[in-house]
Structure 1
Amino acid sequence: MWRRTSAIVVPTVIAVGILAYMLWRVWDDLLMTLSHADPIYLIVATGVCVLAWVMRGWRYQAILDGMAIRTSLSFSTACIFLSQTANLIIPARLGDLVRIFILKHERLATYSQGISSLVVERVFDVVTIAILGVAALPFVVGTPEWYLPLILVPIAGGVAFALFLWVMGERTSENRILSIVFRMISEIREASLHPRALLLLGASSIGIWVVDILVCAVVVLMFGEQIPFAVVVLAIVVGNLVKAVPITPGGVGTYEFALATTFELAGTAPATATVIAVVDHLIKNGVTLIGGVAALYFFGDWSVALMRRSFKEGLSKEELREP
């Protein structure tokens, strides 16, 4: 019981501590910065954020289609909303397990297919934002030296993963564990490692992250700032690469700190940089929570029980067995 509680409480305390420190150090200038905000841009940023989620749903629909799992756009988008809402509460991104249960319950997909679909989505996300970071880096002056390896490592990892999938080919094994692993590798290859999938998922991933960056760009305009677009791109890239390390639920605290630090290094006032980072993440998490609630209604009562079980138990050995 204590281990389960501490796994949630400790990351939450870290997140609250980071945010509290960020706000405390700029508290004197915070109210003045907020007084200059134009609420119209808040509405625009929220609308752009909703568009990004629909695009994510469309891409996930394409990933599942590559595994011969037929879904609607509303179903795939609801899947993502529910799992990402769980990730705002459950540490270490374990909320993604919710999506695996949904696919099993609603589409009779195997657990290996559910996990494989998540792997494909995550690899395209991380590699895409890293590529956008490489494109923006030459246009931003004064960035720390460690930004470059932070951005290049995911790209190298993505290339290495693709080569691994290609070298492995189609394999089978009598061993139950190995057979599951080989089946997952085959499913990932089928969904992503051919020209049409690479083009479709690559282009859609770029579109998703450009729209995500535009949310932050609109928030920048909300406070009347003139931050170069390349700086906004780099801030979102660094923020999401840092958030990919599951230190806090939903990356709360670490994401804002990375964004604010990048803006400050580019010459933005600390109070403004902090407010932009916090509001950007509030919009994105707010849309996530609203979408998660809508997804609960979409899937029905069983999904509420699913969320509760996921928070308490996770995947059991029996549930991980292939049908």
Structure 2
Amino acid sequence: MTPQQRRNLLKTVPGFLISGFFLWFTFRKVNYAGLRQVRLVEPAWMLVAVIFLVAGYTLRSHRWWLMMRASSRAKFSACARVLMTSFAANNIMPLRIGDFLRVFSYAGDLDSTAPVILSTVVLERVLDVFTLLLLFVATMGRNSTLISHKTQIVARVLLLGVSGAVLVLLLAAGKLKSPFRKLLNLLPHPGLVGKIEARLVSALDAIAIISLPVRLALLLESFVLWACEGMIFVAMTRALGIVSDWIGPWGALAFSNLSYLIPSSPGAVGTFEFTAKLAMVSHGAAETPAVVFALVVHVFILFTVTAAGGVMFLLHRARRGPHPSLSQEVQELPVELP
């Protein structure tokens, strides 16, 4: 094992410990005898969940294709394959390896470069976090015992600031480079500032070359694809007969997906279950059914997305012919993003 591999291994340990803690915290009050009472009461809703999952990830692929189309001739099929492969890798491998593969290993497949792809990944994250924060703030105060009134006010003020920043980023990305450069020049540590500036300018350039109508379409598509994912949560409550108010599944969607921001094991195991359960309980669900709901939703999404990405990865490799092994591709990835 190389020194870098040892360092990477050590980096994964805290994430697994965090996941273990959240799993313990999630299950510590569960009535295990009551687990057997939670059953699939309306199986037809599982089909609804599948339909919305396919729709949501098709929209994710289309959104990324719109971003890539501004600077490359990448086909929709190639963008969908690379995106789903990266999601699958992120679900089973530590250190967000899927993002590194998307940026570096598949740049040639997309007729693009690593900095350009990285900038689209950054934009993708900004749109997702913005949409989830909007949904979280919209749901946290309605019939919820999760957050106090004062915290809700602070969160709404913060969301207003984030919303303004995202809109400025989408509407005036090309005009932000000079102000950001002046701001960064005021900071110490010129080496670190130089890296931040290079990545920021690259991201702003990538956004600026996307036409304004397409940028607005990306924002709208982000709302729609997360609505599709929310319907998966709604369908699961119906399928399992979970009793909560109608806001519960939408609060669970926002809170559980924001939990991916917490460093943890691949697939946000533990943090997802804890936050989804917490949101459902705060909207009237009983503790044990809420835990089952969180587990079923997470396993359903993780398994289907990972399986779909894995199949697309293997089919592409079979068609492409001789190629380096996946482990070799991972070993050849750079230590840090450009």
Band the TM-score falls in, shorter-chain normalisation: 0.7 to 0.9
1:109 aligns with 2:112: yes
1:159 aligns with 2:164: yes
Match of 1:209 in 2: 226
Q: Deviations over 1:106-159 (max 9, x none)?
A: 133111101011011111111112222333345333231346656764663453
Cα gap change, 1:179 to 1:222, in 2 (>3 Å): closer
* Counterpart residue identity of residue 55, structure 1: L
How far off its partner does 1:71 sit? Answer: 2.6
1:276 aligns with 2:293: yes
- Say whether the 8 Å CA contact 1:15–1:252 is kept in structure 2: yes
Between Structure 1 and Structure 2, the one with more helix by share is 1
What SS class does the counterpart of residue 109 from structure 2 fall into?
helix
Match of 2:248 in 1: 231
How far off its partner does 1:221 sit? Answer: 0.4
1:168 aligns with 2:176: yes
Q: Deviations over 1:65-97 (max 9, x none)?
A: 12x222333222211111111111333434211
How far off its partner does 1:244 sit? Answer: 2.3
- Counterparts of residues 267-306 of structure 1 (less than 5 Å): 267-300=284-317, 305=324
How far off its partner does 1:213 sit? Answer: 0.5
* Counterpart residue identity of residue 252, structure 1: V
In angstroms, what is the RMSD of aligned CA positions?
3.1
Q: How many Å separate the matches in 2 of 1:311 and 1:102? A: 9
Q: How many Å separate the matches in 1 of 2:47 and 2:177? A: 48
- Say whether the 8 Å CA contact 2:72–2:110 is kept in structure 1: yes
- Say whether the 8 Å CA contact 1:133–1:151 is kept in structure 2: no
Q: How many Å separate the matches in 1 of 2:6 and 2:335? A: 19
- Counterparts of residues 127-138 of structure 1 (less than 5 Å): 127-138=130-141
Q: How many Å separate the matches in 2 of 1:284 and 1:121? A: 19
Q: Aligned pair count?
A: 313
Cα gap change, 1:159 to 1:295, in 2 (>3 Å): farther
- Counterparts of residues 1-323 of structure 1 (less than 5 Å): 1-23=5-27, 25-26=29-30, 27-33=32-38, 35-66=39-70, 68-145=71-148, 146=151, 149=154, 153=158, 156-157=161-162, 159-160=164-165, 163=168, 165=173, 167-169=175-177, 181-191=200-210, 195-300=212-317, 305=324, 307-309=326-328, 311-312=330-331, 314-315=333-334, 320=338
Answer with 303-312 or 270-279: which moved more.
303-312
* Counterpart residue identity of residue 205, structure 2: S
Answer with 102-111 or 255-264: which moved more.
102-111
What SS class does the counterpart of residue 141 from structure 1 fall into?
coil
What is the aligned-residue identity percentage?
20
TM-score by length of 2: 0.80
Q: How many Å separate the matches in 1 of 2:275 and 2:81? A: 29
- Say whether the 8 Å CA contact 2:79–2:110 is kept in structure 1: no
Q: How many Å separate the matches in 1 of 2:200 and 2:284? A: 48
Cα gap change, 1:5 to 1:180, in 2 (>3 Å): closer
Q: How many Å separate the matches in 2 of 1:20 and 1:137? A: 24
What SS class does the counterpart of residue 225 from structure 1 fall into?
coil
Q: How many Å separate the matches in 2 of 1:20 and 1:180? A: 38
Match of 2:186 in 1: none
Q: How many Å separate the matches in 2 of 1:158 and 1:92? A: 29
Q: Which runs of 5+ in 1 are unaligned?
A: none
Q: Deviations over 1:272-295 (max 9, x none)?
A: 100111111111101111112122
How far off its partner does 1:261 sit? Answer: 0.7
Q: How many Å separate the matches in 2 of 1:290 and 1:151? A: 38
